[in-house]
Amino acid sequence: MLTTNGPIGVFDSGYGGLTILNKFRELLPQYDYIYLGDNARTPYGTRSFEVVYDFTLQAVRKLFELGCPLVILACNTASAKALRSIQQNDLPYIDPTRRVLGVIRPTVECIGELTKSRHIGLLATAGTVRSESYPLEIKKLYPDIQVTGVPCPLWVPLVENNEFNSPGADYFVKKYIDLLLDKDPDIDTIILGCTHYPLLIEKIKQFTPPHIRLIAQGEYVGNSLKDYLSRHPEMKSRLTVNRSCEFLTTESVEKFKESAAIFLHQEVHVRSIVLE
């Protein structure tokens, strides 16, 4: 099998994965990255298992075609609904030497040390909450922890439409937090299980009692990638190190540049592509 050297691929349904990419570039600045946002078909959170799986597999194939030996699904919905099938069913046929990793496991791993009450809240897309991926993964590592999830279907549109700081956002931010804490008042830690949500964190803090810890994933996923590479020299040696970052979108270049400015504070090189 021909082994390829190349950048780390980072995939999200839209712009949310940029919060993860930013952490990667902060913690592992030496590597090359390709970010792919399926902005034309976002959001994934309300789509069926089959559709999220198909779209995610198309994105992974594209990033492989572009030479990425390693792809991170920087999207909880894709990690919840597509990661396992891709790892188990597709990767062995496409190229068993490449890797696809997600964001759920690294987030879950940190939870055990953070909660005292052993009651965890999960705020995420409907797809992620319904997939039960978080409670299932948490049960494997920490059987004593109780997980309560609430879907927040309006939070991704608030972020994608740059309305996350508007007074209109208050109502929907408060609504889902109240719903979660009504369901389980003993929660002391809340996972923001969607890569878009860190953009809403100031508002989320405003409506969350101060004793509750909020978990934004970037740091945990970034550290976990660092750790993964230190344990996998065979993968590390295949990653190119020119500090470059290319952005691909299924939407128009102009639209991506305009919206991505919320997440990135620099001029970026963007290319429009088709996924099929």
137 contacts ligand DGL (rule: CB under 6 A): no
Q: Could you tell me if 126 and 132 are in contact, meaning their C-beta atoms sit under 8 angstroms apart?
A: no
56 contacts ligand DGL (rule: CB under 6 A): no
What's the distance, CA 192 to chain centroid? 10
16 contacts ligand DGL (rule: CB under 6 A): yes
Q: Which of 39, 107, 125, 249 binds ligand DGL (CB under 6 A)?
A: 125
Helix axes 218-231, 18-27, angle to 10 degrees: 50
Both structure tokens of 179? 């719903």
In DSSP terms, which residues pair with 192 in a beta bridge? 123
Residue 12 CB, nearest distance to ligand DGL (Å)? Answer: 5
194 contacts ligand DGL (rule: CB under 6 A): yes
Both structure tokens of 55? 């779209």
Cα separation of 173 and 214, whole Å? 14
What's the distance, CA 253 to chain centroid? 22
Among the residue ranges 8-16, 135-143, 226-234, 241-249, the one whose residues contact ligand DGL (CB under 6 A)? 8-16
**110 in catalytic set:** no
Q: Which residues contact 90 (CB under 8 A, 6 or more apart)?
A: 57, 60
Among the residue ranges 58-66, 172-180, 194-202, 203-211, the one whose residues contact ligand DGL (CB under 6 A)? 194-202
250 contacts ligand DGL (rule: CB under 6 A): no
Burial of 125 (0-12, 13-18, 19+ CB in 10 A): buried
21 contacts ligand DGL (rule: CB under 6 A): no
195 contacts ligand DGL (rule: CB under 6 A): yes
Cα separation of 194 and 176, whole Å? 14
The catalytically annotated residue of 75, 110, 152, 245 is 75
**194 in catalytic set:** yes
Q: Which of 56, 77, 107, 189 binds ligand DGL (CB under 6 A)?
A: 77
218 contacts ligand DGL (rule: CB under 6 A): no
Residues in touch with ligand DGL (CB under 6 A): 12-14, 16, 42-45, 75-77, 125, 128, 156, 194-196
- Annotated active-site positions, please? 75, 194
